[in-house]
Amino acid sequence: MIGVALKGLAGRKLRAALTALAIVLGVAMVSGTFVLTDTIDKAFTAIFTESYAGTDAVVSGRSADISFQGEQAQTPGVPQDLLARVRKAPGVEAASGFVVDETAAKILDRKGKAINTNGAPALGFGLDTSPGVARFNPLNLLEGRWPTGRHEVVIDAGTADDQGYKVGDLVGVASLKPVERFRVVGLARYGSVESLGTATFAVFDVPTAQELLEREGQFDAISVAARDGVTSQELVADLTEALPSSVKVQSGSEQASDDSEEVSEFTSFIRYFLLAFGGIALFVGAFVIFNTLSITVAQRTREFATLRMIGASRRQVLGAVILEALVIGVLASVIGLFLGFGLARGLNALFDALGLGLPTTAMVYATRTFVASLLVGVVVTLVAGLAPAIRATRVPPIAAVREGATLPRSRFAAFQPYVAGAIVAGALALLLYAMFDDDLGTAQRLLSIAGGTIGLFLGVGMLSSRLIRPLAQATGPLAQGVLLVLGVLFVPVTALLWVVRKGLRRVGLSSETGFPSLRPERSIRRLARENSRRNTGRTAATAAALMIGLALVTFIATLSNGMKASNRGAIEDQVAADFVLTSQDGFTPFVAAAGEAAARTPGAELTTDVRADLAKLGDTDGYLTGIDPGTITRAYNFDWKDGSDAVLRDLGRNGAVVDKGFAEDEELAIGERFPLLTPSGKRLQLVVKGIYEAPPFYPLLGSVSIQKSTFDTLYERPRNQFTFVNVPGDPGASTQAALERAVAAFPDAKVQTREDWITQQDEDFNQFLIMLYVLLALSVIVSLFGMVNTLVLSVFERTRELGMLRAVGMERIQVRKMIRQESVITALIGAALGLPLGIFLAAMVTRALSQFDVRFSLPIGLLIVFTVVAIVAGVLAAILPARRAARLNVLNALQYE
């Protein structure tokens, strides 16, 4: 039976290849995701490990452990004079202080604009590169030398390549001081890391960095090396005893581990995000495999019956079909595994193209990647092939002598609608649970939505066979119209082909005659429609694969359109200013002096800054904002729930206005106190003066806001999140130009009108959507090949039928036209099921996210585009099967078994 199964598989190479393709693409996504994220992990690990490779201990400021939404509060520095005490400590061989800032050193491009890192670090270093402490330098010099003077800088080789800088050039650098120009004296890279993605770095000598980054008299940390015979643990103990309790001492390996843990959460998010799309592709692929194996089993009824007649048991037939699925799964998984290695580079290129590049090094091919990818592909194939395999065992031996024998119905077939209904009901219950249970955590809510979505797809897929007949009847005329339109559009091409055929026929090289009519014959239309309705299970399974792809794309488009509307509405409700100053990337803080420069602009009627930084607020980590009580209400609209604009004038040193959500979580009311703790350890008791409700989708202020003067006493280097500017009259281009000139010394500050800023937010959403559509395209491609596969199998199944039609006069062009119309009908059925399902899911998830004020907004234009894409997919899917059907030899087809 093993030999029979393998020979049968070898005899159906095309069908096996088309079946395997669905798994190949899904496994490739899984494999590529693991390779890419493992490579990113290795790059970050290399950065942190090599940063402390020559370091036995690190002395840094002691800070409160504060983080919010993946962002960690910056560790406070240590006094410069502490370095002398460290060097005198027992067990110390060498020590060096260094300065580093993750956002404040923006390198300028050739046009004088700050390079937009899209949220990646813009590192500024102050390093002691003298020979005695060179071991502490995490960077590798590739060209030139290290900086030794006030106006010298070393930049990363990636930025130099991108911007065309070389050693000896002058380059502008924007820091916490106005922009200055420095001589590039060297190019470097971070250890062995090939690329930092969109991140950049600029290296100065220590005194220059301390001035530019406002660390006068401070280091961010001190690196320490132990004497021979002294372990890292012994050195840490000696330093802890010798130094004050206000500093923290860790071994180099512990510091590297702490740093890498912060990043591992981010890379894990990327991994799961991409794996979700691989899972979607495999989920769609499972439909394709189930459909393909079901059709091949039905087509091989007499073959299985013959095997049963000559003594094969049901278990042997089951094993033969399972073996076929196993071989297809293994081969497809192996191909997909290696295809994923190339896909990893493609995904990395996608991130780069969208400005989201991440650090990478040599590609990592971990054992886990091989095992997980092969296991997933094989298991999905076997699970999808199990039901067709069981169905094959039901073939009775007598079917071998019956003409046109078909598989008997399962005894459970009558219960399928009830099972499908139960699955749909369960899926709806999960979605409703996610919608209305306000106590659910984010992870539970997402799992409930995911489970409900998968169940809904399965249930609708099982029920769809009941809808095929009316849908095929309804979409038949539309499919005819589509093909008619396409025919009109391609009249010139058709005419050219007709001329060519005519010429070939006259010289005896072609048997094809006549010019095809643009109006399909009524019999062709009827045959196409009836073929779609004849085997409702096969048509439903084919349409279900496309249904899932379209439903997901529609779901993403509808949900994102609602999010864009919510985002725009939230900004419009909050911002009343004419102009908004942000950093170049729009969300990292920028130097506060830029806001002061904007305030000096002629024509600026009002300028108000919004400072922001992390803090522990009560029992919660979050953002604290500093505002100017006298001006903020003219640029920002507070939706007061308890209080009014008047309370801002009474904030004083300890007063605060809080968001309603924060007040409810902390159970605070007007007049009640709560503690504030900054990362540097400064504490303050705040009093609630007012409670307002910020839009939950995009609140521009932090959970707690205090007056700016108090904020500046709590943080060493306060920076602005926004600067709002009002001008008399309409905000024209001349006023914007004046503001841009005023902040020209701070190139990281970006001046936009209120409307331009809101539009930019929409464009950022669109960029994210592009990435989602590219990733979802994989599942749509799987759906497309599923249609191709089913149509090819349909042609095989109807070989004798097609031979009869050709024998009674049907022309090749008519055969192709019939197959094309069947494909378009199937595509339209998929669209008719997928579009409403996607809209329904978007409506359910929007309701589940109602606490974030996500709105429901249909993207009508995109839905029309998706319908057109489905039709085009149907036409493309029919090309190969239609050509194959048209080329059938009539005599051979009539003898086909």
Does 504 score more than 60 pLDDT?
Answer: no
| Residue matched to tokens 């999960």 | 430
Does 647 score more than 50 pLDDT?
Answer: yes
For 92, counting Cβ atoms within 10 Å of its Cβ (0-12 exposed, 13-18 middle, 19+ buried), the class is buried
| Integer angstrom CA distances of residue 45 from 191, 193, 221 | 11, 10, 20
Q: Which residues pair with 236 in a beta bridge?
A: none
pLDDT band at 8 (very low <50, low <70, confident <90, very high): low
| Integer angstrom CA distances of residue 481 from 288, 467, 492, 532, 778 | 28, 22, 19, 17, 29
pLDDT digits (tens, 9 = 90+) for 551-565: 888 888 888 888 888
Per-residue model confidence (pLDDT) at position 209: 92
pLDDT band at 512 (very low <50, low <70, confident <90, very high): very low
Does 681 score more than 70 pLDDT?
Answer: yes
Give the separation between CA 718 and CA 796, rounded to whole angstroms. Answer: 73
Q: How many residues can be counted in the chain?
A: 897
Q: Which two tokens stand for residue 791?
A: 């149509």
Out of 209-223, 261-275, 398-412, which region has the weakest mean confidence (pLDDT)? 398-412
From 874, 862, 863, 873, select the one nearest 835 (Cα to Cα). Answer: 863
Per-residue model confidence (pLDDT) at position 409: 61
Give the separation between CA 680 and CA 60, rounded to whole angstroms. Answer: 11
From 723, 705, 889, 722, select the one nearest 807 (Cα to Cα). Answer: 889
Per-residue model confidence (pLDDT) at position 744: 87
Query: Which whole number is the average pLDDT over 619-642?
Result: 91
pLDDT digits (tens, 9 = 90+) for 122-161: 889 999 888 888 888 888 899 999 999 889 999 998 889 9
Per-residue model confidence (pLDDT) at position 398: 59
Does 514 score more than 50 pLDDT?
Answer: no
| Residue 204 or 481, more confident | 204
| Integer angstrom CA distances of residue 547 from 19, 421, 828, 838, 844 | 18, 18, 10, 9, 18
Interacting residues of 510 by C-beta distance below 8 A, sequence separation 6+: 501, 504
Per-residue model confidence (pLDDT) at position 399: 52
- Residue 523, classed as helix, strand or coil, is helix
Backbone angles phi, psi at 753, to 5 degrees: -70, 160
Give the separation between CA 393 and CA 361, rounded to whole angstroms. Answer: 52
Per-residue model confidence (pLDDT) at position 516: 41
Q: Which two tokens stand for residue 492?
A: 């010139």
Give the separation between CA 708 and CA 358, rounded to whole angstroms. Answer: 35
pLDDT band at 723 (very low <50, low <70, confident <90, very high): very high
Give the separation between CA 749 and CA 108, rounded to whole angstroms. Answer: 12
pLDDT digits (tens, 9 = 90+) for 357-367: 667 777 788 88
Q: Where are the alpha helices (DSSP H) in 310-366?
A: 314-353
Backbone angles phi, psi at 226, to 5 degrees: -90, 155
| Residue 610 or 317, more confident | 610
pLDDT digits (tens, 9 = 90+) for 71-99: 777 788 889 999 999 898 888 898 999 99
Residue 666 CA from chain centroid, whole number: 34
Distance linking the first and last C-alpha atoms of the chain = 21
pLDDT band at 379 (very low <50, low <70, confident <90, very high): confident
From 654, 761, 742, select the one nearest 700 (Cα to Cα). Answer: 761
Query: Which whole number is the average pLDDT over 228-236?
Result: 88
| Residue matched to tokens 């559509």 | 773
The two beta strands, 749-753 and 655-659, are: unpaired
Give the separation between CA 678 and CA 672, rounded to whole angstroms. Answer: 20
Give the separation between CA 867 and CA 708, rounded to whole angstroms. Answer: 53
- Residue 849, classed as helix, strand or coil, is coil
Give the separation between CA 540 and CA 829, rounded to whole angstroms. Answer: 8
The 8-class DSSP code of residue 73 comes to P
Type and span of the H or E element at 156? strand 152-156
Interacting residues of 655 by C-beta distance below 8 A, sequence separation 6+: 647, 686, 687, 689, 706, 707
Percent of the chain with pLDDT over 70: 81
Per-residue model confidence (pLDDT) at position 345: 84
- Would the CA dihedral through 272, 274, 278, 280 be positive or negative? positive
Q: Which residues pair with 704 in a beta bridge?
A: 624, 658
Give the separation between CA 356 and CA 350, rounded to whole angstroms. Answer: 8
Give the separation between CA 663 and CA 686, rounded to whole angstroms. Answer: 13
Are 123 and 106 within 8 A, CB to CB?
Answer: no
Give the count of beta carbons closer than 10 Å to the beta carbon of residue 856: 17
Backbone angles phi, psi at 461, to 5 degrees: -60, -40
From 282, 287, 279, select the one nearest 458 (Cα to Cα). Answer: 287
Amino acid identity of residue 243, one-letter, is L
Are 106 and 174 within 8 A, CB to CB?
Answer: yes
Give the separation between CA 222 and CA 555, rounded to whole angstroms. Answer: 52
Out of 398-412, 607-621, 717-731, which region has the weakest mean confidence (pLDDT)? 398-412
Does 473 score more than 60 pLDDT?
Answer: yes
Chain-wide mean pLDDT for the chain?
80
Query: Which whole number is the average pLDDT over 10-28?
Result: 74
| Residue 573 or 71, more confident | 573
Per-residue model confidence (pLDDT) at position 153: 94
Does 688 score more than 90 pLDDT?
Answer: yes
Give the separation between CA 793 and CA 18, rounded to whole angstroms. Answer: 10
Q: Which residues pair with 328 in a beta bridge?
A: none
pLDDT band at 518 (very low <50, low <70, confident <90, very high): very low
Number of helices followed by number of strands (H, E) in the chain: 26, 26
Interacting residues of 555 by C-beta distance below 8 A, sequence separation 6+: 838, 839, 841, 842, 845
Query: Which whole number is the average pLDDT over 764-783?
Result: 75
Residue 883 CA from chain centroid, whole number: 38
pLDDT digits (tens, 9 = 90+) for 271-319: 777 777 777 777 777 777 777 777 777 666 667 777 777 777 778 777 8
pLDDT band at 172 (very low <50, low <70, confident <90, very high): very high
| Residue 449 or 596, more confident | 596
Per-residue model confidence (pLDDT) at position 637: 92
pLDDT band at 519 (very low <50, low <70, confident <90, very high): very low
Interacting residues of 801 by C-beta distance below 8 A, sequence separation 6+: none
Out of 304-313, 482-491, 701-710, 754-763, which region has the weakest mean confidence (pLDDT)? 482-491
Does 573 score more than 70 pLDDT?
Answer: yes
pLDDT digits (tens, 9 = 90+) for 107-116: 998 888 888 8
From 559, 4, 596, select the one nearest 300 (Cα to Cα). Answer: 4
Residue 122 CA from chain centroid, whole number: 23
pLDDT digits (tens, 9 = 90+) for 242-277: 888 888 888 888 887 777 766 666 677 777 777 777
Query: Which whole number is the average pLDDT over 351-373?
Result: 78
Per-residue model confidence (pLDDT) at position 169: 92
Q: Which two tokens stand for residue 827?
A: 């595509």
Are 765 and 673 within 8 A, CB to CB?
Answer: no
Are 761 and 752 within 8 A, CB to CB?
Answer: no
From 549, 553, 570, select the one nearest 784 (Cα to Cα). Answer: 549
From 109, 274, 271, select the one nearest 198 (Cα to Cα). Answer: 109
Burial 409-431 (b: 16+ CB within 10 A, else e): eeeeeeeeeeebeebbebbbebb
Per-residue model confidence (pLDDT) at position 208: 93
Per-residue model confidence (pLDDT) at position 579: 92
Furthest C-alpha separation in the chain: 103
